[in-house]
Amino acid sequence: MKIYFFIVTILLVIIGDQLTKASILSHFQYGESIVMIQDFFNLTYVRNLGAAFGFLAGSDASFRIPFFVVVPIIALVVLVYLYVDLPPAAKWRATALGMVSGGALGNLIDRARLGYVVDFLDFHYKNAYSFPAFNVADSAICVGVGILLLSTLQLKEKPNASHSA
């Protein structure tokens, strides 16, 4: 049963991520922004050459490009290993690993196809604070990691639990 949750989640994340990015690419010019909620949320087409929140975006391309191809592949190998090690009833953790895997693959597709990641979810508070733009893949990775952390904490609180979280 866990394979269903893992594979379907990966596919849903990749499809949702790539469809939203395709919509941004077809309807926005680079840097264009549309206010959705005044002083709080815009759709803004941003090209992210780095990792999360632009980490390493300014580094030399001869380092950055191989780094952002190799690291996600290693991460995916680790995620598959973690999935294989899950007990059969661990649906939530299989789903969480699927979210992280799907997010990593969604951003890897962008890097392979475009040379950068398309970001567009732009949250801010007036002109005082701005969170770095992100996308559906980034959201899936964060939520998946959150579920994994919560399920790990739940297992630690119940040492005799049946690892089915």
136-157 vs 2-27: helix axis angle to the nearest 10?
A: 150
Structure tokens at 103: 């997010």
d(CA 144, CA 93): 8
User: Active-site positions?
Assistant: 119, 138
Structure tokens at 22: 């395709």
Q: Please say whether the beta carbons of 104 and 72 come within 8 A.
A: yes
CA dihedral for 132, 122, 63, 73, sign (positive or negative): positive
